[in-house]
Each structure stands twice: as C-alpha cells, then as structure tokens.
Amino acid sequence: MVEQPEEGQATATRKVTLRALRLGDAITVGTLAERMHVDPVLIIKQLMRTGVFASINQVVDYDTAAAIARPFGYVARRAADAVSVAAGAVAEDESADLSPRPPVVTILGHVDHGKTTLLDTIRSSDLVSKEAGGITQHIGAYQVDRNDFPITFIDTPGHEAFTAMRARGTQVTDIAVLVVAADDGVMPQTVEAIDHIKAAGVPIIVAINKMDSPKADAEKVRRQLSEKELVVEKWGGDVVDVEVSAKTGDGVDDLLEAIQLVAEVAELKADPNRPGVGVVVEARRDKSRGTLATVLVQTGSLHVGDYIVVGNTRGRVKALVNNEGRRVKIAGPSMPVEVLGISDLPGAGDRLVVVPNEKTARETVNERLRREDARGRGATLEEVGSRISSGEIKQMNLVVKTDVQGSIEAVRQSLEQLSTPEVQVRIIHAAAGSITESDVLLAVASSAVVVGFNVGPEPGARRQADQDGVQIRRYDIIYRLTEDIQKALTGMLEPTFEDITEATLEIRAVFSLGRRSKSAGCYVTSGKVTRGAKARVIRDSKEIYDGAIAGLRRFKDDVREVAEGYECGLTIEGFADYQVGDVVEVHRQQQVGV
C-alpha cells in the first residue's frame, strides 16, 4: 500500500506497483518532479512534511530524494554518477557480452631514465626528437600490436598525472611498467612512482633500462628495489623484471612478452556492444580544429556522431583520429583516440560517456553544474577515526613528509607500531621535504591524511589541499603525532583546531626602520592580508617565527588589508630577522567541522 499525496494531507490509499527511480548523489527538486511526472508543488509540500524546506531549484541529497520518491510510487536506486544514469551505464560484471580487451600500460620512472625512448623503440617511431630537451612534456596514449596482441601504452610526464586521474575516480591503468636506469639505480622520483603504483594496486613490471651502458649494474637495482619492498622473481619475489636497452632494442621483446603474460593472467574484459565509456588523457585547443581531447575508451564503443558528456561539458563526436593520425569511425575498448566535437575544454581524468541524444546530454550537464561541489574527497583524521569506530573501514592511510631523511624511519616505525589486528596504519608514501601538490593528489586518490613532521606545505600544495578538501596536519613533537593517530584509531579523537592559511606573501626587500627595527617589502602571491592577523615566517620550508602583524602599509599609507597581486610593507610584532626569499603565511585557527 502506497500513499499518494494530494492537496493537503492524503486521505486515501491505493495499491500501486513501485517503479525504480535511478538517482545520483544529488538532484534538484524540479528535476526530481520532472523525473516522477509530478507537480513540483506536491514535491515541495512533501518535503515540508519531513521538515525540509526547499525551493524548486534547490538541490537535495540522495537520502532525502529517496524518502520523497516512495509516497509517489517510486523506489530509489542509487547510481554512482548522474552521467552513468543518463547513459544507462552498468558495471562490467553485470554484462553477459564480455570480450577480451587489450591491457592499458603506464610507463613510470625517474626523469631521464629512458621512459619515452623505450616507448619510442616499442612503437618504432621517433618521439624523443620531438620533445623539448628530450624530456616528455605531454601525455600521450598509443596502441601497438605484438603478434596480433594489441597493447595500449600511456606515456606520462610523471606519476602526478597517473595519480591525478585516480584522484578524479578514474582508474585507467591495468599494468604499470617502472623504468629504472641500470647505470643510475633507484632515485627519489623512482621511489615516489613506486608508492603511487602501490597505492593504485596495479601489477608492476620493472624494466631495468640502459643495460648497454658500461656502468650498468642490474643486481644493484634489484637490491635497491628490495629495500623498497619490491622483490623481483629472481630474488624470490613476485615482481617481474626485464633487462632492456631502449637504445639498442635488446630485451624489448621480452618486456612485451611479460606484459602479455600479466595481461592474460588478469583476464581483462569489456563489452564492446554497449555505449562507450572512456576517460580523458589530455585535452587542448587547436586554432583550426577547436577542442581536441585524447580519450582512452574503457568499455563499450565510441562512434562518430555519438552524443557525449565529458566532465561538465558535452558535445557530439565529429571525428575520431587514432594514434597514427588516421580517421576511424569506431573506437572500441582500450583504444586511444583523439576526439573532435567537444564544446569546451575538459580536464585530464574527466569521464566520457555516450548518451542517447542532445537533450539528455544537456540535462545531464546542467544537473552536474547544479550539484553542490563534490570534488573535495580528502579525508580528515577525525572522519577516518569515526569510520574506523563504526566498522566502515579497517585501515588508515597516511602520506608522511619529514624535515630530514633520518626522521622518516623513526616516524614510520612509531606510526606502524600503532597497528592492531583489527585496524592497520598504512603509510602509502613517506619522504623528506616540504609537502607538495603531488602529495596532496596522492592523498585525494587514496583517501589519506597528509602528515608533516617539522615541515609545512608549499603554496601550491596548500591551494590544492583547500580545493580538494585534504587535511594537512603538522607536528613538531612525535608523541603528539602518535597520540592523535592512536586516538583516531580508537575513535576517541575529539575535534581539534585546524590552521587555515588566508594569504601567502613573498619577501622581496628588507628596509631598516631604525637600529633594531626592520620592515619587509612583500608581494601578496595569494589571498588577502589583514592587519592584526597572525603570520608565520617560513625559511627553507621551516617555520622560524609566528606572531601578529603589527603594521601594514601601501606606499606611505597605513592600510587595513592588501589583496592578492599587490605589494605592501609588513612588520611582525617581535620579529626583525627578515630575509629576501622568505615566505610569510597569514593564518588563523578554525575548529575542524565548524
């Protein structure tokens, strides 16, 4: 028996068959009414009865919409994404028409270890000579054929792009090839790439490159990899390693054979007959052709003439160009193509979905734009603790940065000792140096908290963290760090005060105001500076002083505030040791969750 609300309170009941209603995470009242073929006024009245006061254009969440739908004869079903709903997308394991698909392989490693040269040798074409300085400056996706076994390669400028796609919820890679130069060994970027690959949970194949070099030492590379908990099969581990020379081509066939073997074990499949779903690898604007997006089709097929939704933009496929520069009419699973016909520039990692018609594409994009901003997916320590105590998760992910190399192991051991059989502390990346944008992206992609021990974030990392909702916690005493993690693991961590950076300034000159008094000539690189606010002075990524802003001037005038992009004179109470190049962060304390 289902109530059917009318004007005023419903007085009659009638038996109806509940119809399924696919809903995303959020929907406007007007769209909900349209989807259920009900007068929006009735929806608003029903919302009021449940204590929710909303207008026709206001967004309500899934739970609220689901509760409202039932009295009108609908049962809500959650859909992961509104675009997927519009496209009629289903999970791969729900399809009965699955066929083997080519593996998607990402090449990662330290700069100048031969990533692009290796791909160049595989493709038997000249890529490196087209790159500025021989270093990859863009993202490319290419498909090669080995004995009628196609393999798709993604060549990236670094693990940041690899992780940026994961941060947007798009797991693109099936296999990661880690390139390590035999004459150079494991380098800092190699270690970061290993951590990013492990966090993604994809199989790793190590390509020990530059074996033609007189200084090549493959055993040294294997030993260094084992120190990073990456043990190759020759040493009793489970990681495939292949000795290659991208320059001479030796060992490249063995590498392709290893990729083919790993892919066959993984049994990669997709449904080529369903509407296409893919992900943007890169996008750019061309003066003559308009918006161009390199798209990797993940499942289904993309046809010329298809209506598509890509992130928060839409379009109709005018042309598809493969990696050889030839126009094709259809792009199937794991095939990279350049797509023409998108109305605006999408971002790397945006998902492409084929929709039935232009109206659906327009409505889907409009609904997405009306949603509340859901990009911030970073976790706070308090939220993680709450989810652990409720039994929702059994692992705490951390990205740890310290001031010096010697502190890494001490911090790592102190944190890992807090693990219990029920809950694990997992450090997905630990390194010395300030907190970077790459650290923040890794935290977003892995739902991790960033911990800084005697270090702070770079300005770009702070902006990225604020944008993506990532919590950065800074400590200078190790027992306070372990105490907070311990409390979070047991669900006892109380809300704390979070440090909010309101502005960042760069000291470009120092002026003497007397025998002991000095003033700093600054440029406001971000935010807005207010007189009387708290400011910390950072030198070489370390905080050296924190105090109140005593004076703020523009030219000869005292001012109350200075906005981004302007210069100013600054004095901080009780401090005079200004140096050119110092960074000043204007900050305030805010209680987390308030």
pLDDT digits (tens, 9 = 90+) for 149-184: 889 988 655 555 566 665 555 567 889 899 999 998
pTM over 0.75: no
Asked if 336 contacts 296 with a C-beta cutoff of 8 angstroms, the reply is yes
State pLDDT tens for residues 199-239.
Answer: 878 899 999 999 999 999 999 999 999 988 899 988 888 89
Q: Using CA atoms, how far apart are residues 304 and 282, in angstroms rounded to an integer?
A: 19
**Residue where the block lists tokens 């509407």:** 275
CATH number of the domain at 102-267, please?
A: 3.40.50.300
What SS3 state is found at 427?
strand
Asked if 503 contacts 528 with a C-beta cutoff of 8 angstroms, the reply is yes
332, with CB counted inside 10 A (0-12, 13-18, 19+), is: buried
Picking from 308, 302, 347, the residue whose alpha carbon sits closest to that of residue 320 is 302
In terms of DSSP bridges, do strands 424-432 and 472-475 run parallel, antiparallel, or are they unpaired? unpaired
Q: Spell out the residues 6+ positions from residue 495 whose beta carbon is closer than 8 angstroms to its own.
A: 382, 591, 592, 593, 594
- DSSP at 335: -
Of all residues in the chain, what percent are helix, strand and coil, respectively (each to 5)?
30, 35, 35
Q: Using CA atoms, how far apart are residues 174 and 201, in angstroms rounded to an integer?
A: 9
How many C-alpha atoms does 314 have within 13 Å on its Cβ side? 23
Q: Using CA atoms, how far apart are residues 78 and 453, in angstroms rounded to an integer?
A: 41
Q: Using CA atoms, how far apart are residues 502 and 516, in angstroms rounded to an integer?
A: 29
Same fold, 102-267 and 499-591: no
In terms of DSSP bridges, do strands 561-563 and 557-558 run parallel, antiparallel, or are they unpaired? unpaired
205, with CB counted inside 10 A (0-12, 13-18, 19+), is: buried
**Residue where the block lists tokens 């791909």:** 119
Picking from 573, 497, 557, 568, the residue whose alpha carbon sits closest to that of residue 528 is 568
| Range 2-79 classified under CATH 1.10.287 | no
Phi, psi (5° rounding) for residue 25?
Answer: -70, -25
The pLDDT of residue 500: 82
Q: Using CA atoms, how far apart are residues 574 and 197, in angstroms rounded to an integer?
A: 47
Output the CA angle 567-572-578, nearest 5 degrees: 70
34, with CB counted inside 10 A (0-12, 13-18, 19+), is: middle
157, with CB counted inside 10 A (0-12, 13-18, 19+), is: middle
The pLDDT of residue 86: 46
Q: Using CA atoms, how far apart are residues 350 and 170, in angstroms rounded to an integer?
A: 8
What is the second-level CATH architecture of the domain 277-366?
Beta Barrel (2.40)
Q: Using CA atoms, how far apart are residues 8 and 45, in angstroms rounded to an integer?
A: 8
* Inter-CA distances, 450 with 161, 379, 380, 468, Å: 19, 9, 9, 12
Q: Is the dihedral angle over the CA atoms 182, 120, 301, 26 positive or is it negative?
A: positive
Picking from 180, 189, 159, 188, the residue whose alpha carbon sits closest to that of residue 241 is 180
The pLDDT of residue 371: 54
Asked if 455 contacts 583 with a C-beta cutoff of 8 angstroms, the reply is no
Q: Spell out the residues 6+ positions from residue 421 whose beta carbon is closer than 8 angstroms to its own.
A: none
The pLDDT of residue 39: 85
Spell out the domain ranges in the chain.
2-79, 102-267, 277-366, 381-494, 499-591
Asked if 278 contacts 351 with a C-beta cutoff of 8 angstroms, the reply is yes
Phi, psi (5° rounding) for residue 161?
Answer: -65, -40
* Inter-CA distances, 116 with 171, 215, 216, 294, 498, Å: 22, 21, 19, 18, 43
Q: Using CA atoms, how far apart are residues 154 and 108, in angstroms rounded to an integer?
A: 9
Low-confidence ranges of the chain (pLDDT < 70): 1-18, 24-26, 57, 78-97, 125-140, 155-171, 368-379, 390-392, 491-498, 590-594
Q: Provide the residue type at 476 as one letter.
A: D
What SS3 state is found at 85?
helix
CATH number of the domain at 499-591, please?
A: 2.40.30.10
To the nearest 10 degrees (0 to 180), the angle between helices 62-69 and 40-49 is 110
CATH topology of domain 381-494: Rossmann fold (3.40.50)
The pLDDT of residue 237: 87
Task: Give the largest Cα separation in the chain, rounded.
Answer: 90
